[in-house]
Amino acid sequence: MFRHQGKSRTLKHNLRIATILSFVAGIVNVTGFLSFKQLTTNVTGHFALFINDVADFEFWKGTIYFLYIFSFLTGSFVSSFLIEQYKENKKLNVYLLPTLIESLILISIGVLSNFVEMSFSDLLVCLLLFAMGLQNSFVTKISNAVVRTTHLTGLFTDLGIDISQLFFPKYYSVRHKLKANIKLRIYIILFFFAGGLFGGFLYSKLDLKLNTLIFGAVILLISLIYDDLRYRLIKTRRKYQQRKKIPANTHTKNA
């Protein structure tokens, strides 16, 4: 699900990566809000608050919202830069580095919260927004802009448009594609919601606080390991099948 790109990418690949990443985004969103009372998976609200402070001539107060926005942008830039930098390396899964960086950020915040008093909340919000910028960028690139997992506004808009088009005969020729898009968007919304519930349960009911972020990182790492092992297994199986065909062909020619 992390390796397939372009025409080789199917709905099944997009569903797998969408459910995992939207679930993680749901965890980060709830954990960030409960900890810092700030949105940590998108910048729409921060942009509105930034404009409000600038309009009131409270430039210094608005600076922090600008930093939130800039952190998300920087995460997106870094993710895309790393992917483009290592795109030609066929042996490397180019989506490995952004995912590892995101996991490292989530684990670091969770672990440090057990030993250090988290009094620098603005910095932590910036780090979480950076991590979500990383995620949103690489999932956008890997799915060719079909999957977005860190915010739901655009998803609900696209879902409404796709559902409305099902009622018109002129879209019957692309009905299969519309249903696939609807299915994908519903999965993302449901798993974002499920991630939020799971994160809220761990944060509040089990009192894990920022340690909840570690679970998000673990899910990402397990997904990477599973994807890599599955890729290696399929590759090994194909090589074995090709080797079996060669002697068979040779035997036929000799006969």
| DSSP per-residue letters across 141-193 | HHTTTS---S-SHHHHHHHHHHHHHTT-GGGGGGHHHHHHHHHHHHHHHHHHH
Q: Angle formed by the axes of helices 11-36 and 121-142, to 10°?
A: 170
CA nearest 142: which of 89, 182, 83, 186? 83
CA nearest 214: which of 27, 63, 62, 34? 27
Residue with tokens 């830069």: 81
Which regions in the chain score pLDDT beneath 50?
A: none
pLDDT of residue 217: 97
pLDDT of residue 140: 85
pLDDT of residue 122: 93
pLDDT of residue 133: 94
